[in-house]
A and B are shown apart, each in its own frame.
Chain A
Amino acid sequence: MRTSGGRTTDLASENRLTGAYLVVALVALFGGVLTGLFQALEHAGLDLYPWLTPFIQSYYHGLSLHGVLNVLVWTTFFICGFLPFVTAQALGLPLKSRPLGWVTFWLMTGGLVLAAIPLVGNVATVLFTFYPPMKAHWAFYVGLTLVVVGTWLVALNLVLTHRAWRAKNPLARTPLPAFMSLVTFVLWTIASLGLAAEMLFMLIPWSLGLVGGTDALLARVLFWFTGHPIVYFWLLPAYVSWYTLVPRQAGGRLFSDPLARVSFILFLILSTPVGFHHQFTDPGIPEGWKLVHAFLTFAVFFPSLLTFFNVVASLESGARARGGKGWVAWFGKLPWGDPSLAAQVLAMLLFAFGGVGGLINASFNLNLVVHNTSWIPGHLHLTVGTAVTLTFIGITYWLVPYLSGRALWSRRLALVQVWFWFFGMAIFSNALHRLGLMGMPRRTMIGASVYLQPEWRSVLPLVGIGGTILFVSTILYFVNIGLTVVASREPAAVEVAFAEALSGPEHAPAILDRWGLWVAMAVVLVVIAYGPTLARLVSTTPLNAPGLRVW
């Protein structure tokens, strides 16, 4: 039983559901970082793969596991557990359909197991992007598709829950945490249509032998239709925490609730019609359309800057309330002793570098320097690998105690973990960025490569050192979380308390709560940005590239 918004609602079932998602997410993260360690060591010259057979049969088998477990499973399962939790808490309502909630969880977990069998069995060593004509076992595609269908059901449940709330509160603004959660899932539902089409119309029939060939470009266009906005599906839940929980953890208030809503609406509208920025170097797409997507990519930078400002101003309000002074000195007055807050502020700090790097990736012609070099994994470990992952870790530092009713086993260990991650990632990511500028390709078993350049050798050990520090950090994390659940004796004193705002929801124009308009704008932009290219590719595709197993 807990109180929320003056009402008392029993959310025990929602809490168990969140816990279930969290368990799957954490198991995936463990597999993800373990395989990451082997990759980092391989780059540093320590090839452990001969000892890892039969579990991991090659560098690329491990890399496929690494990508899928980290960015497809860990993120998705965490989000599907966390956002419904936040929504229920913020609305003070249970999920509209609890049975649907559980069916969804088991559907997603079943899909995951189905995809994991070929993946673990080395018959889906196609990396997390599974570009055809490289061909995996059909169960891999079907399993992942079931996971996506599951996310749509999560979206449905959230929409129904919001409706139930709206019926009782016809005039009020949707509470910010629920509003943001809904935007995230609506955005994802639109975005995932590309991936769903790729799976249903191309990869699944082809892997089952019903059609003879594929079209590499059409598949890539559909993949990146989803592949860019998926990063917002990962990132926005972290923003939910930064906007609605972190300000309070910092002892302050959210600076501006209306501005937060505006930036989320902009993400909803702008984050899908930009996928060609992953395909600047692809043949078959006219340069003009690539430029359109580059243009829209810069437009998404606007809500990102709004977020940066709003979140930093909120942190500052907390630090000043705690006696912080000066232009930057206030930063030291944040409650750094709270591992949840420390994790998330450090995640933001590294994310700032990730944002600058992202602008370079998006810059069309600069992209020619970095595309498919190790600069890209350097970048993505700052964004999804830290801004998202370290924030989620920070969230679990209060969420796991809250759900289990047991206090965090060791606050100090958690702080060590967080700082290890920060320094480990700084070393690791910096090294990969530099190697990328030296022309080192990504997705490559560098230690065994025939073209290893002498100048790379001086930097490669840093990949191994940074990666090892990161791995140690995650082990500390799992030990702490594990002991919290099994050994912690102290009851948890955690409350889910959302931040108040200096400028609150009552200042948000009513139009921001009008979904139809924003969804329509998003769809129109997608049709403009993708329509002509997709229509041309679909109408002319010979589907003539036969599938191959090349590993």
Chain B
Amino acid sequence: MRRGTTIYLYELAWILPSIAIPVGMLVALIVTAFGAGIHVPGDEGRVDPTKLAVTSPFDQPGVFEVGPGRYEARMVAGTWFFAPNEIRVPAGSTVTFVATSKDVVHGLFIPKVNVNVMLLPGWVARVVARFDRPGEYPFLCHEYCGIAHHTMWGKVIVEPRS
């Protein structure tokens, strides 16, 4: 039996755009990833989760100025806290979060600036965010980490430049 030409044409008329659409989206993705410099977390190496208290930089959680307008927040997450849980920086600062977990899986999520990273025990996470507008930016743990998971949070307080 011969296959109807119409069916063949219909199939083709659909197959071609079906290839073109994902390819187009992929191009958009590559452009934003490399052109606009929007990055996802990468590999920053391991750290022994049972020895954080004696391992730099996690032996000293806190916020450190590392250059003009540039800060580094060294954070440890645990059940059910962030240390530090309050981070103060002036408006216009770029903050690099270097964080890990001391027990189970946690997350670090700051909605307004798209900081979104998993904190895994044994692994160092590093993400960068810029805080231009003064105000409070809550950060929360967004991975289930036990019975009081919904109490685990902190905030970045961005102060107006004087």
The 5 closest A-B pairs by CB, nearest first: A439-B111, A550-B146, A441-B142, A305-B18, A283-B125
Q: With A371-B116, A443-B143, A445-B149 in contact, do A548 and B125 touch (Cβ < 8 Å)?
A: no
CB-based A-B contact count at 8 angstroms? 198
| Contact between B7 and A287, CB atoms less than 8 A apart | no
Closest to A305 in B: B18
| Contact between A365 and B33, CB atoms less than 8 A apart | yes
Query: Does A255 touch B at the CB level, under 8 Å?
Result: yes
Q: Complex formed: what's the CA distance from A503 to B4 in Å? A: 8
Say how far A535's CB is from chain B's closest CB, in angstroms: 14
| Contact between A287 and B40, CB atoms less than 8 A apart | yes
Say how far A288's CB is from chain B's closest CB, in angstroms: 8
Q: Complex formed: what's the CA distance from A60 to B138 in Å? A: 23
Query: Does A290 touch B at the CB level, under 8 Å?
Result: yes
Query: Does B145 touch A at the CB level, under 8 Å?
Result: yes
Q: Mark A286-304, 1 if CB is under 8 A from B, else 0.
A: 1100110011001101100
Contacts of B117 in A (CB 8 A): 281, 283
| Contact between A439 and B147, CB atoms less than 8 A apart | no
Q: Complex formed: what's the CA distance from A168 to B8 in Å? A: 32
Q: Indicate which residue in B4, B21, B114 contacts A369 across the interface (CB closer than 8 Å).
A: B114
Query: Does A364 touch B at the CB level, under 8 Å?
Result: yes
Query: Does B77 touch A at the CB level, under 8 Å?
Result: no
Query: Does A259 touch B at the CB level, under 8 Å?
Result: yes
Q: Mark A325-366, 1 if CB is under 8 A from B, else 0.
A: 000000000000000000000000000000000010001110
Query: Does B62 touch A at the CB level, under 8 Å?
Result: no
Q: Which of A174-227 contact B (CB under 8 A)?
A: 215-217, 220
Q: With A282-B118, A284-B120, A542-B122 in contact, do A134 and B104 touch (Cβ < 8 Å)?
A: yes
Query: Does A367 touch B at the CB level, under 8 Å?
Result: yes
Closest to B51 in A: A544
Q: Complex formed: what's the CA distance from A256 to B6 in Å? A: 12
Closest to A58 in B: B147
Interface size class of B (residues with CB under 8 A): 35 or more
Query: Does B150 touch A at the CB level, under 8 Å?
Result: yes
> Which stretch of A112-120, A448-456, A492-500, A519-527 is in the interface?
A448-456
Q: Complex formed: what's the CA distance from A220 to B45 in Å? A: 16
Say how far B20's CB is from chain A's closest CB, in angstroms: 10
Q: With A446-B150, A507-B3 in contact, do A217 and B123 touch (Cβ < 8 Å)?
A: yes
Closest to B26 in A: A298
| Contact between A372 and B40, CB atoms less than 8 A apart | no
Contacts of B147 in A (CB 8 A): 58, 60, 550-551
Q: Complex formed: what's the CA distance from A392 to B55 in Å? A: 53
Closest to A300 in B: B22
> Which stretch of B9-17, B63-71, B86-94 is in the interface?
B9-17
Q: Complex formed: what's the CA distance from A542 to B19 in Å? A: 43
Closest to B138 in A: A451
Contacts of B19 in A (CB 8 A): 302
Query: Does B112 touch A at the CB level, under 8 Å?
Result: yes
Q: Which of B89-125 contact A (CB under 8 A)?
A: 101, 103-105, 107, 109, 111-112, 114, 116-125
Query: Does B25 touch A at the CB level, under 8 Å?
Result: yes
**Which of A58, A215, A291, A441 gathers the greatest number of chain B CB atoms within 10 Å?**
A441
Say how far B37's CB is from chain A's closest CB, in angstroms: 10
Query: Does B151 touch A at the CB level, under 8 Å?
Result: yes
| Contact between B39 and A287, CB atoms less than 8 A apart | yes
Write 15 A-B pairs (CB below 8 A) sorted by A numbering.
A131-B105, A133-B104, A259-B11, A280-B41, A281-B118, A302-B19, A305-B18, A309-B18, A364-B33, A371-B142, A372-B109, A444-B150, A450-B153, A548-B104, A550-B146
Q: With A364-B29, A364-B40, A368-B114 in contact, do A502 and B4 touch (Cβ < 8 Å)?
A: yes
Q: With A309-B18, A363-B29, A502-B7 in contact, do A283 and B140 touch (Cβ < 8 Å)?
A: no
Q: Mark A424-444, 1 if CB is under 8 A from B, else 0.
A: 000000000000001101111
| Contact between B41 and A216, CB atoms less than 8 A apart | no
Q: With A283-B126, A365-B29 in contact, do A134 and B49 touch (Cβ < 8 Å)?
A: no
Say how far A50's CB is from chain B's closest CB, in angstroms: 14
Query: Does A373 touch B at the CB level, under 8 Å?
Result: yes
Q: Complex formed: what's the CA distance from A281 to B4 in Å? A: 49
Q: Indicate which residue in B7, B18, B29, B46 contacts A302 across the interface (CB closer than 8 Å).
A: B18
Query: Does B1 touch A at the CB level, under 8 Å?
Result: yes
Q: Indicate which residue in A282, A294, A542 contacts B29 across the interface (CB closer than 8 Å).
A: A294
Query: Does A476 touch B at the CB level, under 8 Å?
Result: no
Say how far A365's CB is from chain B's closest CB, in angstroms: 4
| Contact between B7 and A255, CB atoms less than 8 A apart | yes
Q: Mark A255-293, 1 if CB is under 8 A from B, else 0.
A: 110010000000000000000000111111111001100
